[in-house]
Structure 1
């Protein structure tokens, strides 16, 4: 029962915009990381096939380029190509810098007094700027190999320009200089240059780039063997050559070994090893970078490194969430098994409780369900039972309905609207019995519910008992989702809480209390929106045990629309946080209060607040995974977790003696229902942080649950 008691001072809206903005920024950051990691390598075909019209040409590429040298200038009216002089070799290395292989390549070159040209990937420059500085410091040359090793012939023009611009900025940020040489990824010899690739080189020439292809492609990225690499790198007849090799993008141990053989062998044959620019007698290819370009490069590197840290943090968060989730399921199952064994040992070995019981039903506008609720209570198979209905200022004739029923043992108390806690306390004061059962006005009991619920009071240390709440209106999808949540989440949790002796909540739908316990804690508190949680925590802190009786079943009407569900869970979540804060001092207390503080409160904090708050980021990370990670791994992980949840759900349904049929709705629950639940937590936390006072939300009752239970079709 809820009443319109509190009104919000202001309604927070900006946080949704900030949440969406934050998630968009997170996705953008992860996208940056995805683009700059997992970069490929390798070169293109050794030779291209022409269109068949003219031997030795490729469609769309001038014959002078196809048959010309590997250094190509296209910033003039006619293409100009240059080749290495005889017995001059320009070793070129693509796909670096690599922290493992680039230093080894540089060490070999230094031992043999050789120089080379390194075509670097901009993203890897940002990761290892010290290696780029070492390359220049040791007399080598640097060229661009794009920022993300993209195939420039297959990307839009804006992406091509961005790839080249970012690479120049990355090198400028690391060295203070900009490269002008360009080797497109997946390129090889001029004879393999097709029309789209030629168009790329012409466009790049407009931004000051000189293309460098190769005369000899060793295809060392395929790891064909050291001997084949050496043979592929050796020019015939003493001619000069630009030799294509790789210092990054994979295992390059064969490349390093081939260099150890190639350099001394060709040196003995009179070859010299130099950079591309020096080989053709051109000026130094790198130019000083402007201040703006250098600063942009430093900012780019900071962005990339920051994206890497965010991705690493998300990986850690996801790992923690998975471990905690699996650990939670395992603990729930283990505790449920212990709870079952405990119930079996207790059955038949404790005295029967038949003391008088007063059932208190607070009601505010419960006309749809109140008759079914009261009839189910009167029909209870319990010898000494009184029912007190406290009408809390209803405007729909709730009290009149009960009075017209003229049922024996049923009393109606009318009061001005003061809220559910006040109505409960009115009923407690009016009750004659020392054992009190508190019931919501939309709840229907089975005939044995009251009897089973109070049997736990045979143990004098037990101060309160939680019953088993079940969703009656579960025929629609939303009802099935809530049914699964009640059985898997709430009831498995209650078994665990019972075993760990830290039950934080007795649901308002069904709970039993000793009068002396309620007197000791000053009745039902009214300063939080989750009075049931607040009251239960107070009982534990007073030194009493709170247990769970799974056989005491109460049928309740769950929200039938997402809007109603949102309002209910928003109040629950916000009220639970209020109660947790109110009882935070239980962390330092001994006994039952300490068990609540050191077991129950941390559990609630992690699984009902922190993990749901992290869930939107986890979903964004999942979207990032769909874009950049292997789908097979993602699908396998998702299916594995879903199967684990399904097995646990099946076990929970079996414990509750429920059919397994609703399990088909579990995958959809993870896709839709879960998002609603974590957004509720986000809203509740924001409300608490900004200091809003959440108003009471009343759920519209349809009477469907009562009708289903009465007809015996709730299962």
Structure 2
């Protein structure tokens, strides 16, 4: 009986791992494409034609950090005559509005306790711009969170990609508190990987990228066509990306447009944020899953992008939950002698081997990302290496989060930002 249970779990975990590899094997190709790209000198088109942009910042009780973001926008190499800054002080109880006004932004306050979330705040500001600033005729809208900071060439580089014909453009997401602890580093490594090993190869292979939370540019025509911002799920970023891909849009990526954001510091904050993300992925799957499947098999120009987005929101969570349930039930059955003549040690060894395989894959991903992005990670060298070892543990904490998100009602809650740095201090 002991050997049967151990053998079953061994084969189950191995097959699950193979299914993971099958679904995500194309991302290994992505990594090879990205690594090859990094060895080449890129030919950058000289698309310097200036466009008129509105920068939109949704902020809730962000008086500590919003001033530094606006300063970094005002220090851009891109001509300031083509940039206006709009801030939504959304349900604020502090001095966010006053700080933003003093820094030179156009500020509107919003108080609505029923419609809570970034999507509603953005829609509120888009309608104000449409009604009060229609004469400005903006070509596009930048979307940032209040804790962000921009490299001085950020807008100029994004403008270059925008002029290549992309109507949605995302950028290189770095972190201003990478070195704070294993949690902030875990986020940072993932976002660096997402930028350079997902979005960069997508761009090279002429498929669609995806936006990630903040730091992106949207053409004004898309906002007009939608009648504002119509994305209100808990993960409005992936909802927007999938919606645009299903409509035939191709999202671009600008590798040289670098911005920094603040990552949650405590595990409690991180749990709350990632619980919202996990719940949001389930919401997106429920709303767009059928359309994605339909698009994959219609063989249109965005079929592969639809497959790519499907892999983002589906198999990982489903297979992980299934694996945890099966392994957990067997382990509990063995632990409490429900299954007779089965040793705990053998079952534990099989489960630990499975965890070990997952750890090795995540560590390799972190190590490659850290080495190739070494110069862009601003902290001590030993921390960069140390946090490559802790990254797999950070990713493993998604497992209980994904399970809890299946059953728990989740609402948007603010993550307080307290890391007050200028762009010069971060770099």
TM tier relative to shorter chain: 0.7 to 0.9
For residues 15-54 of structure 1, the aligned pairs below 5 Å read: 32-33=1-2, 37=3
Residue matched to 1:316:
15
Q: Matched residues in 1 for 2:362 and 2:397: separation?
A: 19
Residue matched to 2:373:
653
Query: How many angstroms does 1:511 deviate by?
Result: 0.5
Residue matched to 1:493:
198
Partner of residue 413 from structure 2, selected from 680, 683, 697: 697
- Aligned partners of 1:437 and 1:511 also within 8 Å: yes
- Aligned partners of 1:350 and 1:458 also within 8 Å: no
Query: How many angstroms does 1:625 deviate by?
Result: 6.2
Q: Matched residues in 1 for 2:208 and 2:274: separation?
A: 19
Query: How many angstroms does 1:635 deviate by?
Result: 11
Partner of residue 447 from structure 1, selected from 152, 163, 171: 152
**SS where residue 387 of structure 1 aligns?**
strand
Residue matched to 1:673:
394
Residue matched to 1:602:
311
Residue matched to 1:684:
405
For residues 466-477 of structure 1, the aligned pairs below 5 Å read: 466-477=170-181
**SS where residue 170 of structure 2 aligns?**
strand
Residue matched to 2:336:
none
Alignment of 1:664 onto 2:386: yes
Residue matched to 1:564:
269
Alignment of 1:330 onto 2:35: no
For residues 182-201 of structure 1, the aligned pairs below 5 Å read: none
Query: How many angstroms does 1:654 deviate by?
Result: 4.7
- Aligned partners of 1:428 and 1:436 also within 8 Å: no
For residues 20-99 of structure 1, the aligned pairs below 5 Å read: 32-33=1-2, 37=3
Partner of residue 123 from structure 2, selected from 417, 420, 425: 425
Query: How many angstroms does 1:503 deviate by?
Result: 4.2
For residues 315-394 of structure 1, the aligned pairs below 5 Å read: 315-321=14-20, 327=25, 330-337=28-35, 344-345=42-43, 347=44, 349-383=45-79, 384-394=82-92
Residues 336 and 604 of structure 1: CA distance in aligned 2, closer, same or farther (over 3 Å): farther
Query: How many angstroms does 1:351 deviate by?
Result: 2.4
Q: Matched residues in 2 for 1:441 and 1:387: separation?
A: 12
Alignment of 1:586 onto 2:288: no
Q: Matched residues in 2 for 1:545 and 1:642: separation?
A: 29
For residues 234-313 of structure 1, the aligned pairs below 5 Å read: 308-313=7-12
Alignment of 1:402 onto 2:104: no
| Unmatched runs of 5 consecutive residues or more in structure 1 | 1-31, 38-303
Residue matched to 1:195:
none
Alignment of 1:508 onto 2:177: no
**SS where residue 545 of structure 1 aligns?**
coil
Q: Matched residues in 1 for 2:87 and 2:142: separation?
A: 12
- Aligned partners of 1:545 and 1:592 also within 8 Å: no
Q: Matched residues in 2 for 1:415 and 1:663: separation?
A: 44
Query: How many angstroms does 1:640 deviate by?
Result: 6.1
- Aligned partners of 1:439 and 1:511 also within 8 Å: yes
**SS where residue 368 of structure 1 aligns?**
coil
Residues 503 and 635 of structure 1: CA distance in aligned 2, closer, same or farther (over 3 Å): closer
Of structures 1 and 2, the larger Rg is shown by: 1
Cα deviation, 1:446-504, whole Å, max 9, x if unaligned, reads 211111122112123x1100011111112222222222222224542222443455546
Query: How many angstroms does 1:443 deviate by?
Result: 0.9
Residues 475 and 599 of structure 1: CA distance in aligned 2, closer, same or farther (over 3 Å): closer
Alignment of 1:544 onto 2:249: yes
Residue matched to 1:463:
167
**SS where residue 397 of structure 2 aligns?**
helix
Cα deviation, 1:226-250, whole Å, max 9, x if unaligned, reads xxxxxxxxxxxxxxxxxxxxxxxxx
Alpha-carbon RMSD across the aligned residues, in angstroms, is 3.4
Q: Matched residues in 2 for 1:582 and 1:392: separation?
A: 27
Query: How many angstroms does 1:561 deviate by?
Result: 0.5
How many residue pairs get aligned? The number is: 395
Residue matched to 1:102:
none
Residues 627 and 440 of structure 1: CA distance in aligned 2, closer, same or farther (over 3 Å): closer
- Aligned partners of 1:504 and 1:537 also within 8 Å: no
Query: How many angstroms does 1:307 deviate by?
Result: 6.5
Residue matched to 1:412:
107
- Aligned partners of 1:463 and 1:539 also within 8 Å: no
- Aligned partners of 2:66 and 2:146 also within 8 Å: yes
Q: Matched residues in 2 for 1:600 and 1:332: separation?
A: 14
- Aligned partners of 2:145 and 2:214 also within 8 Å: yes
Cα deviation, 1:359-408, whole Å, max 9, x if unaligned, reads 01111111121111111112222111110111122111210112233x2x
Cα deviation, 1:126-162, whole Å, max 9, x if unaligned, reads xxxxxxxxxxxxxxxxxxxxxxxxxxxxxxxxxxxxx
Query: How many angstroms does 1:554 deviate by?
Result: 1.3
Between Structure 1 and Structure 2, which shows a larger proportion of helix residues? 2
**SS where residue 559 of structure 1 aligns?**
coil
Query: How many angstroms does 1:337 deviate by?
Result: 4.0
Query: How many angstroms does 1:510 deviate by?
Result: 0.5
Cα deviation, 1:53-85, whole Å, max 9, x if unaligned, reads xxxxxxxxxxxxxxxxxxxxxxxxxxxxxxxxx
